[in-house]
Chain A
Amino acid sequence: MKNRGKPPLILPSKRRRRQRLARYSPHALIAMLLVGGGAPIAQPLGFQWPAIVQPASTEHHAGKIVWADLITPDLDGARRFYGELFGWTFHDAAANEADYTVAYVGRQPVAGLVHRAMPAGEKRQPAWLTFIAVRDVDATRRLALAHGAKILAEPRNYPNRGTQAVFADPQGAVFAVLASSAGDPPDVLPAPGKWIWSSLITRDADTDAAFYQTVIGYDVFETPGAQGAQHLVLSSDDFARASANPFPANAEHHRAHWLDFIRVANVADTAAKAGALGGRVLVEPRTDRHGGRIAVLEDPAGARFGVMEWVNGATAQGAK
């Protein structure tokens, strides 16, 4: 949100500042600088990352996919697209810079939208960044690096948000981990408009599943009947959290990546609406393992995401 309602920042005149500083000994000045140079020095003035759970909870679910941030060169376009498509509302998180916006479903935060300028003339693709809940980011960092990951952003603590770090797994899929200081979202079925599922699409799902099992602590299940294509389920706390899949047979040139799915009431309607809003359908609506339909879409700037139907009782009981 902008700085509305806050009193204007009035800086003291140079003379008054000199008079005030003269009251302190040089040693006190050093101490003030050192104390003041703690956690906040890295933060731009007024910047505040939001908590991912509001109000804060004491729940922690290591392995749960708890958040996603969109890195995009067109923040306004992203607001329009996702707002129209899912009914998300937005609030800027920064008081003095408008490069991070939080998307809400009702009063619950669901995602962050980060503006990043794209160098002129470059044909590049923005992306959603998947956040996996962990207890200890430093311990996760040690394990990840010991098992072939690369660090893209070192662990860093943000007030309200928690400690997070960004990695590329051994096959190149980029993901983030977060030890949320406000707790993790509860283990209930997400409402429409919220993230419901994530898939790791990678060259060697078996080996990548082993990496995440070691680093995050997942249980790994191989599901039957996928007609030769491996379909692994990563779970924690007895809930399915994500799948690991090898690239489709005709897409082996692809880069490994995480693909996050948003729950919708009707995949076909959502796909059609995404097209009308300037997006693209990458995988047409199709029925998946759970009996509901999924589709893979691309926003107007090129970021990929999935949409998924989930009819809890009817689908599960009917499929039994």
Chain B
Amino acid sequence: MNARPYGLAVLSAVVLGAGCVVGGAGDGGGTRYGIGFYEPFDNYGSWGPGYLVGPPRRYEGEHGREVPDDRPGGLPHAYHPAPASHPIPSLPAEPREEEPNGR
């Protein structure tokens, strides 16, 4: 009897088994991201009245807006600013009927 094909089968099983270990356990069985927990913040910082993070209101910049040439401190922007003619976008509107989906 020729043992070579059986040897190939065993070899394939070993190789694929190793693949399972790398793919499955390597990042925690498929449900983990390979990222750890972070150092805790003792103080999140106090957000002063000028520290705004929220979305713009609708219609903000609708009639034109200033596009600052530079960032605070005088350095040129690293990004490409949207044209001044474009109003600042806001959030989408409420769904008209029951929202079928949505984040």
A and B together in one complex: yes
Contact B51 A166 (CB under 8 A): no
Given contacts A41-B20, A127-B37, whether A223 and B27 have CB atoms under 8 Å apart is no
Report chain A residues within 8 Å CB of B28: 116
Report chain A residues within 8 Å CB of B81: 220-222
A33 to chain B: closest CB distance in Å?
5
In the complex, the chain B residue whose C-beta lies closest to that of A165 is B33
Contact A118 B102 (CB under 8 A): no
- The digit string for B1-14, where 1 denotes a CB below 8 A from any CB of A, is 00001101100110
Contact A233 B50 (CB under 8 A): no
B64 to chain A: closest CB distance in Å?
11
B38's partner among A33, A108, A127, A206 (CB-CB below 8 A) is A127
Given contacts A42-B24, A231-B53, A310-B91, whether A224 and B65 have CB atoms under 8 Å apart is yes
Report chain A residues within 8 Å CB of B8: 26, 30
A160 to chain B: closest CB distance in Å?
13
- Complex formed: what's the CA distance from A30 to B9 in Å? 5
Contact B103 A110 (CB under 8 A): yes
Interface size on A, as a range, is: 35 or more
Check A163 for interface membership: any CB of B closer than 8 A: no
Contact A206 B50 (CB under 8 A): no
Interface segment among A78-86, A134-142, A280-288: the answer is A280-288
Given contacts A53-B101, A222-B68, A231-B52, whether A33 and B60 have CB atoms under 8 Å apart is no
Contact B33 A71 (CB under 8 A): yes
B45's partner among A65, A118, A125, A248 (CB-CB below 8 A) is A248
Check A120 for interface membership: any CB of B closer than 8 A: no
Given contacts A41-B23, A228-B72, whether A108 and B89 have CB atoms under 8 Å apart is no
In the complex, the chain A residue whose C-beta lies closest to that of B41 is A254
Contact B37 A30 (CB under 8 A): no
Report chain A residues within 8 Å CB of B47: 248, 283, 286
- Complex formed: what's the CA distance from A97 to B86 in Å? 50
Check A319 for interface membership: any CB of B closer than 8 A: yes
Given contacts A26-B9, A41-B16, A291-B57, whether A209 and B34 have CB atoms under 8 Å apart is no
Report chain A residues within 8 Å CB of B58: 316, 320
- Complex formed: what's the CA distance from A94 to B12 in Å? 29
Report chain B residues within 8 Å CB of A282: 41, 44
- Complex formed: what's the CA distance from A25 to B1 in Å? 13
In the complex, the chain B residue whose C-beta lies closest to that of A73 is B37
Report chain B residues within 8 Å CB of A152: 33-35
- Complex formed: what's the CA distance from A41 to B26 in Å? 13
Q: Which B residues lie at the A interface, using CB under 8 A?
A: 5-6, 8-9, 12-13, 16, 19-20, 23-24, 27-41, 43-61, 65-68, 71-72, 75, 77-82, 86, 88-95, 99-103
